[in-house]
Structure 1
Amino acid sequence: MSKAVETDWLTIVRSAGAKVGLDVDQADPIQVSENAIYRLPGCVVARVSRPGQLAAARREVNVARWLEASGVSAVQVVPNVDQPVDIGGRAVTFWRELPSHHHGTPTQVAAVLEQLHRLSIPASFDLGEVAPFIRLEDRIEAAHGLSDEDRRWLRAHLAELQQRWEDLPKGLPWCVIHGDAWVGNLAATDDGQVVLLDLERTSIGPPEWDLVHTAIKGTSFGWITAEQYAEFCDVYGHDVTEWEGFELLRDIREFRMTTMAVQAASNRPALREQAERRLACIRGERGPRPWSGWKALE
């Protein structure tokens, strides 16, 4: 059996930088997994995608430029650089490095979402519609530690959620949404800026899809207090839990978080207990919400 070929991330970054005239001699890795992030001189960060993501990277670059022009504080691409750069099927993009920062707060998320959701839909490029089930089948297939019975249940539950989505109740008007709006995707810098991160899921969809992420932090997991959630609703001006479609979006979000854990546990045994806990919860085996013991995947 032949050995798997290890990705030469540094060569990819240097090749892309050379194509667009950026200094890549002192590229230092920040994170390397199925994709990679490198720090370059001049407060520049290079991101290398997994294969086949050129169109997605191009759209993310377009979103970042559009948000900057629209006055929404979000992560910014390096200006005057023709990107993404295609290196052997991997998309490389270049971003301005953020100053020292920490996670935002629920109220900061609410303020940014209220601004984002008021924007007119861009005419210069196609954002596409929200894809709430993207990669979920792949996650289930990649979760090698699942029993056959658990895998069958996950597939059946996914099919049920997809059917329920077809009958999503009417809510707020569809608009530009972030797609993965939680405190970890909002950077609060030490100099007082609040910056929206991770733009790859930005699309057209129900604004409730963004709001439910914070709502379940309280109703499903007890990660935030009732007072914190009330402040979130006050800042945004709407409580998604009062909408008849809330339970569906909640269930999809919980399912996404569970499949992420069961896939990750396939290669990281330390996460197996967390994956099993999440699966038991959404199967109704751990009683009513809020459930205890859900923890961030480290």
Structure 2
Amino acid sequence: MTAMRVGDGTWSILRVACAGVGINATGAQLLRVTGEIDYRLPDGVIARIGAPGQQGVAKRAVDIARWLASAGIPVAQAVSDMPRPVVVDGRAVTFWQELPRHRAGTPAEVAAALTRLHGLAPPTDMEVGQVAPFVGLDERIDAAHTMTPDDRSWMRRHLSELRGRWAALPTGRPWCVIHGAAWSGNVVVTEDDNVVLLDTGLLSVGPPEWDLVHAAIECASFGWITDAQYAEYCRAYGSDVMRWGGFYLLRDIREFRMATMAAQAAAANPAYQQQADLRLACVRGDIGPRVWDGWTALS
């Protein structure tokens, strides 16, 4: 199955959803086929198709974005006259305003954006919930049918081990509002220097280190940013998560989440199989010490 065929499986959902809100889906461009599926529509609209049965998650993403904007945090927003998901065949479709031209934030800009976010008080008119570090991982492993039975058995055992370690998470900075997916690509800067948060649907209350660990592993695990850039990140935020006793646990959970995401993606598209095999070999200890070469973002 090619990436385009994965997208074609949602084309009928997109067409029905667009017709329901009076948007022309002709010429829609497939942007993302892993996780949520994104299409670019005419007139500056992005249609996002969620996983089956995740209507509540889609609605929550819209509500979170509105709350952040009301708190003065620039964030991608749903189209104003389409605030509720359109449900087609059990899948929620939301419509978002396409951002103007932008670039990925620098590590220092990401850290500054997180500093501001972490300083927010949780909303009083909606429940954001606590961080759920293992959400969806059992389902990802079950869906990873291109991996061998031994591989999937190892993943289940490793997941159980990580859950046990999480129960003994060391005390760190006070829990606060966190982004939940604070990769560098999820903080962008527009041409007028507006720093904008993307993919805020995983926002919750949790340890700020859950956000900070992203940059640490981008540097120390994958080599995506340099030591100098990571030092700028730490200076901008005011601390280095790698000096905290719980860093290795959060690092291991994040890397495992990334490995299971690739394994699930490979089940839908063989183009991701090499990446899935590499990631699993790394987290299982078959490759050698970090920095690991070859980890690439899934599109």
TM-score normalised according to structure 2 size: 0.89
1:220-266 Cα deviation digits (max 9, x unpaired) = 12221111101001101111111100000000011011111222233
Aligned to 2:28: 28
2:21 counterpart of 1:17 = yes
The size of the alignment, in residue pairs, is 290
Q: Alpha carbons of 1:41 and 1:272: their partners in 2 closer, same or farther (altered >3 Å)?
A: closer
| CA positional deviation for 1:26 | 5.2
After TM superposition, the structure 1 stretch with the greater mean CA deviation from structure 2, 278-287 or 29-38, is: 29-38
| Change in CA separation of 1:49 and 1:283 when aligned onto 2, cut-off 3 Å | closer
- 2:169 is matched with 168
- For the residue of structure 2 that corresponds to 1:222, the secondary structure is coil
Q: 1:135: how far off?
A: 1.3
The alpha carbon displacement at 1:42 in A equals 4.1
Stretch moving more, 137-146 or 245-254:
137-146
**What are the equivalent positions in structure 2 for 1:180-199 lying under 5 Å apart?**
180-199=181-200
Q: Higher relative contact order at CA 8 Å, sep ≥6: structure 1 or structure 2?
A: 2
Counterpart of 2:180 in 1: which secondary structure?
coil
Q: 1:130 — aligned with what?
A: 131
Letter in 2 for 1:89: G
Structure 1: runs of 5+ lacking an equivalent: none
Asked whether the 8 Å contact 1:76–1:95 carries over to 2, the reply is yes
Q: Report the alpha carbon displacement of residue 85 of structure 1 after superposing the two structures with TM.
A: 3.0
Indicate the SS of the match to 1:79.
Answer: coil
CA distance in 2, matches of 1:146, 1:6: 23
Q: Which whole-Å CA distance do the structure 2 matches of 1:35 and 1:214 have between them?
A: 23
Alpha-carbon distance between aligned partners in 2 of 1:87 and 1:268, rounded to the nearest angstrom: 23
- Give 1:57 shift: 1.2
- Pair 1:206 & 2:207 matched: yes
Shift of 1:54: 1.3
CA deviation profile, 1:7-63 (whole Å, cap 9, x unmatched) = 413432224314xxxx43656234364754344454333323232111111111111
Aligned pairs (5 A) from 1:78-89:
78-89=79-90
Task: Kindly indicate whether the alpha-carbon contact (under 8 Å) linking 2:30 and 2:40 is maintained by their aligned counterparts in 1.
Answer: yes
- Note if 1:49 corresponds to 2:54: no
Question: 1:121-177 CA distances to partner (integer Å, 9 max, x unpaired)?
Answer: 101111011111111111111112222221111110000001111111111111111
The answer on whether the counterparts of 2:111 and 2:236 sit within 8 Å (CA) in structure 1 is: yes
Higher Cα Rg, which structure: 1
Q: Report if the CA contact (8 A) 1:29-1:36 is conserved.
A: no
Aligned-residue CA RMSD (Å): 2.1
Q: For residue 3 of structure 2, what is the aligned residue in structure 1?
A: none
| Percent of residue pairs identical | 52
Shift of 1:87: 3.6
Q: Distance in 2 between matches of 1:40 and 1:148?
A: 41
| Alignment partner, residue 223 of structure 1 | 224
SS in 1 for 2:177: strand
Instruction: Assess, with a 3 A threshold, how the Cα gap between structure 1 residues 240 and 35 changes in structure 2: closer, same or farther.
Output: closer
Matches within 5 A, 1:112-123: 112-123=113-124
Is the 8 Å Cα contact of residues 14 and 25 (structure 2) preserved in structure 1?
A: no
User: CA contact under 8 A between 2:13 and 2:88: conserved in structure 1?
Assistant: no
